[in-house]
Amino acid sequence: MNSRLVWKWVVLVGVVFCLSLRGQAQETSWQSVAIAEAGFQSGDLVYNSDLAVAPDGTVYVVWADIAGDIFLSVVPPGETLQPGAPINLSEGAGGDWPVAPAVSVGGGRLCIAWEGWDDFGGDIFARCSDDGAQTWLSPPAKVAETDAPSGQHELQGEWDGNVDVFVDAQKNVYVAWFEDFSKLVWSKSEDGQTFSEFQTVLETFDFLRWPHWAQGPDGILYLAYTLAFSNDDADVYFLKSSDGGATWEGPIQVTSNPGFSDAPEWAFVNNSIYNVNDDTDGAAPDSANILLTVSQDGGQTWEGSVAIAADGAFPSIATDGKNLYVSFSSIVGDEQTGFVCSTDGGQTWKRDDIPDSGPNFVFLGLRGPGVDASEVAIAVDAPGNVYVAWARGSRELGSQIMLAKRQGC
């Protein structure tokens, strides 16, 4: 078996593989703060972070607590990071283990979606607010309830946490996930409380992973994902809709790489689309690289993928309309959270990893399907402040949800 895939997909029973912290103070353009802290054992752990930034600069960070709930912290605009007290979003809804929350803000509406796993499989939940998390439109809403695995994917074992949420400028809420490992499905809500019966937009005999919503400046809605043909062969594809999901065009292939291209995220600058993903094929024999694939014509054609960072996985991309910012889990050395940025449309990249940000999480092994706990999330506000959220931990450190901030590239 390819040694790079052995690293990336191995199930670690009950703990997270990690390396020791250096903890050395150094000059940095970053400021960071711990949003949440817990222990580092099977019943006491925080993980699965995501974030979104509102137009006024308010930052929303979500995460999972292995004790059984999804939490949110609101960070108001300001020179320094001052996170608010954790808000329990799930309030017990979500089975034995609520996992992998995703957050989005649009039109003044804040929504969080997550998967809840129990002995009967997984269900999808969501909760929305129209006043910045001061009040909620409803209790946790069950978006989907099925007997099949919801939000799970399969690759050398079953994994939880493949759910994404998007809120557009009209406050429509879109949730996407996978049913039974091979169906890409989605549901929509106009009021943030009730969701349509989910629709299957793609069904395949191969495995599907990592759904990602994106919307272009022309209002076209995109749904990207990974199609895995084998443990060594996967590429990024997408579907698109110009009528809010009533009809879909695609699938359209984005990457054509010899390795396992996985975990896509998108950013838009004018008519150009920037897709980032990780890929296990490269010069480093025991690693993965962060790849960039660009379309200059709104997704009709795609250039060849190029590596923009070595030794990373599970990237996230954001733009302020000009500059591009990418964060990712670093996977060698002391495992700092990786960061690169570009001021010339992706032609060149500057790397400035977040100091003292590791060890990054990799995977968790629970009683049922495992959890990918290695996600890193990035967002940028209108003044050009860049925010990154991630989980880190070790037996000595415990587990933490971290938020970092810097100005521009």
The rounded percent of the chain whose pLDDT value lies above 90 is 65
Given a contact cutoff of 8 angstroms between Cβ atoms, the answer to whether 124 and 98 are in contact is: no
Closest-CA residue to 51 (of 71, 78, 31, 30): 71
- Eight-class DSSP state of 3: H
Q: Is 142 in a helix, a strand, or coil? A: strand
Q: What are phi and psi of 262, to 5 degrees?
A: -145, 160
Please, how many CA atoms are within 13 Å of residue 43, restricted to the half-sphere of its CB? 0
Contact 143, 193 (CB under 8 A): no
- pLDDT at position 3 over 80: no
Region for residue 23 given its phi and psi (left: phi exceeds 0; alpha: psi -120 to 50; beta: otherwise)? left
Closest CA to 50 of 109, 102, 124: 102
State residue 159's pLDDT score.
67
Q: Could you tell me the two tokens for 160?
A: 């939880």
The number of beta carbons lying within 10 Å of the beta carbon of residue 233 is 15
Average pLDDT over residues 74-84: 95
Instruction: Name residue 201's beta-bridge partners.
Output: none
The total of other beta-carbon atoms located within 10 Å of residue 104's CB is 22
Whole-angstrom distance, CA of residue 219 vs CA of residue 221:
6
Rounded-to-integer distance, Cα 49 and Cα 102, Å: 8
What confidence score (pLDDT) does residue 1 get? 34
Range from 151-165, 202-216, 359-373 that averages highest in pLDDT: 202-216
User: What DSSP element (H or E) covers 97?
Assistant: strand 97-106
Coil/strand/helix, residue 373: coil
- Condensed to tens digits (0 to 9), the pLDDT of residues 187-237 reads 999 999 999 999 999 999 888 989 999 999 999 999 999 999 887 889 999
What is the average pLDDT value for the chain, to the nearest integer?
86
* pLDDT at residue 202 in the model: 95
Q: How confident is the model at residue 336 (pLDDT cuts 50, 70, 90)?
A: confident
For strand 158-160 and strand 370-372, is the pairing parallel, antiparallel, or unpaired?
A: parallel
Decide: 313 and 32 in contact? Cβ < 8 Å: no
For residue 150, pLDDT over 80 is answered with no
CB 172 within 8 A of CB 140: no
What tens digit of pLDDT does each residue of 17-73 get? 333 333 334 467 999 999 999 988 767 889 999 999 999 999 999 999 988 899 999
Which among 314, 315, 320, 215 has a CA at the least distance from the CA of 273?
Answer: 215
Tens digits of residue pLDDT in 377-404: 999 999 999 999 999 988 888 899 999 9
> CA-CA distances (angstroms) from residue 274 to 147, 175, 317, 320?
37, 22, 8, 13
The per-residue pLDDT for 16 is: 35
- Give, as one character, the DSSP assignment of residue 42: T
The highest-level CATH class for domain 3-407 is mainly beta
Residues 258-301: pLDDT tens digits? 889 999 999 999 999 999 999 986 555 467 899 999 999 999 99
Higher pLDDT, residue 365 or 38? 38
Predicted TM-score (pTM) of this structure: 0.91
- Within 10 A of 66 (CB to CB), how many other CB atoms are there? 23
